[in-house]
Structure 1
């Protein structure tokens, strides 16, 4: 095989790895061997061979399609594709960025560090604007007023947020070095060999489940999109042993389950799949009807008595105070609260200093929640993670 093509395949695999796909050295070697057998008769065969060797999960196919279209866009694979090598890759004028996937754009077109002229002596300067100050400004920045760069930084911060969830005791016992004597295990061990110390056991532990109900109406669209990134990070933790079971729903004028869509590894693809799935994004709000549908159809399936529910909405239900829909909203919220252990209400309207619960929907929801919390910046979401880590009921 020509050396240039082998180098291009190697750099293409590095791009996929940087973008988030688990591409190991063995898969790169397998792809090179498969190309020797399959040949380069057509672009379709070349693409199919690389896909068969480098993709191991169905959710990675969309990322592979985008990367292949941009990286291998020159039809002369044996000659001119060397211009697309990763170390020299640079965006050309008019080249569109990969849709809905900024990690692929960063992998294909990394920012090159500025070169310091050799003739100038090295100088050590102290920057008064410390990194801590920049992070503090980002923490306090409202999601509604964030720039595109701050939005990307905030999403990366949310992906690293992994609260230490509390554990709940279970009725089942498990082996332990200390605790009460497990007579059955002790007798079984003594039957195999004599003069053994008694076996002990203690109550098992498991992480309390988490349920997310996010409002995606027009007034909540910007905040809901960021909070969906938080839900994605909670649904795909780095350490599965201390991770809870997370079920996610979005609602506007109707209720839509998105738990399976949140299982995708790429957060941008997951949120994009949610926006394509739901039909009422940035539409109206029917909080009482959506809570009624959840309590009737989904509560017994996904909600446990020790679960924590995150209700993400501004509480602006349409109607006056004497409207029956507000009474129905209070009833459905009370029913939801009695079905779980904690009902946490995340309300972006709390960002205003002079906030008062004057709306009928807010008055109906407020007495039924365990806590009323802010949800408009990273600092408020950090307070949420501290609340999830606490053991208060």
Structure 2
């Protein structure tokens, strides 16, 4: 491939390192040596603070046909199995988005930019290039790039290290347009902005999240608590819930009826909190059952939609306790927990909290003779196997812990 040598030659001619060259988003896929570098590069195109006016925001928003096409593109991405290079976006997205293979992954990304900023800012998504690369039905997202610093790289590390199903990153800083959200209003002194995808259902991140959720629940096994999760990563300021290094919620508060969600050991929020406590023994890992922190994500529109609220009602209707199974997880973190040094421990915690996927393995590979046939097993990130009987018991226990 001649492109990379030409870029290297250009860097030499102008006396700048390759990673300091002005790039297009497509250029990020050429010069990035690994997934961490790729998401860092793509994040540099995130639409910045106070960038939009009413007019420019309207221009950047997807038209109805583009909104449908963007959701369809996310679903197409999830169907990739060794054929990423052949995938095409629909005509409504031509010139704006593309699929591209990248070092064992398939990337859906915005190709258009203006002076180092995404022309649209609808975000990007990544999945394993082959179905065999999926080790957990885990969908990791970072809704607040350029604001909750470190969460983009952290989300990529958790997705890749755990063998996750997808990674989704928003394309606009939550303060890119400072008009108040027309969806979730927030408190008088804490308004939510139009470009905050956690509180505005008109942001494309919401559409992509809904597409991921619908795809997962359309699979034969759906989204079984304990073996499937949607993890949304956030960062909090030092003065907010200062005693909590990580605060895990599922979109419900600490009301009496909601507390079993956080106190039942096999329930996903409690399971993740326990795994994080093991991974970070000196940090306080909390849930609404153990902390009065107000960051419970009860107004998060993606959380509401994932917790049974109809998409058309997420701006006004909170989730009902009886509809919440804990598969949608919201993590608020201190800055220390978002540093690169914490990523490996985060990966181990997530691997412990979310069971690996089941696959069919020939009997002879398991030392069970050569009589033919296959055995259903769970495969973890190191490709070790667990007996199918244990797998069934684990999922059985998760199911009845929620009832």
Scaled by the length of structure 1, what TM-score is found? 0.29
Judging by fraction of residues, say which structure has more helix.
Answer: 1
Larger CA Rg, structure 1 vs 2:
1
Greater RCO structure (CA 8 Å; 6+ sep): 2
Scaled by the length of structure 2, what TM-score is found? 0.28
